[in-house]
Amino acid sequence: QTVVTQEPSLSVSPGGTVTLTCGLNSGSVSTTHYASWYQQTPGQTPRPLMYNTNTRSSGVPDRFSGTILGNRAALTITGAQADDESDYYCVLHVSGDIYVFGPGTKVTVL
């Protein structure tokens, strides 16, 4: 069974930089997994942030960036702001043409 991994929680100072990662229990993440990222605040609908590893969704500021870091997909927030405090989910396209979400990373800005 394919399992996607994410850090349970991360914290960042206002104006600071934080990197979230998205891994696979079965091996390395590559661009062929078409990693995408979603931001969700409590009670709200998930908001698309990034797709195809490093393409920002419409309206997403350029302080959000995506890449492959080693064997994981990564989402970096540069110049963190208070309203970046959210849950962040990655999802990977895996064998069988299916999608698997990670458990989410709770980002705290303090």
Nearer to other proteins, 17 or 55 (CB): 55
Nearer to other proteins, 16 or 103 (CB): 103
Can you give the three-state secondary structure of the chain, one letter per residue? CCCEEECCEEEECCCCEEEEEEEECCECCCHHHCCEEEEECCCCCCEEEEECCCEECCCCCCCEEEEEECCEEEEEEECCCHHHCEEEEEEEEECCCEEEECCCEEEEEC
- The DSSP symbol for 8 reads S
- What CA–CA distance (Å, rounded) separates 42 from 46? 10
96 belongs to the binding site for other proteins (CB under 8 A): yes
Nearer to other proteins, 48 or 76 (CB): 48
Nearer to other proteins, 28 or 32 (CB): 32
Contact pattern from residue 27 through residue 66 relative to other proteins, giving x for each residue in contact according to CB under 8 A and a dash for the rest: -------x-x-x------xxxx--xx----x---------
Provide the minimum distance between the beta carbon of 84 and other proteins in the complex, in angstroms, as a whole number: 19
Per CB under 8 A, residues contacting other proteins are 34, 36, 38, 45-48, 51-52, 57, 89, 91, 93, 96-104
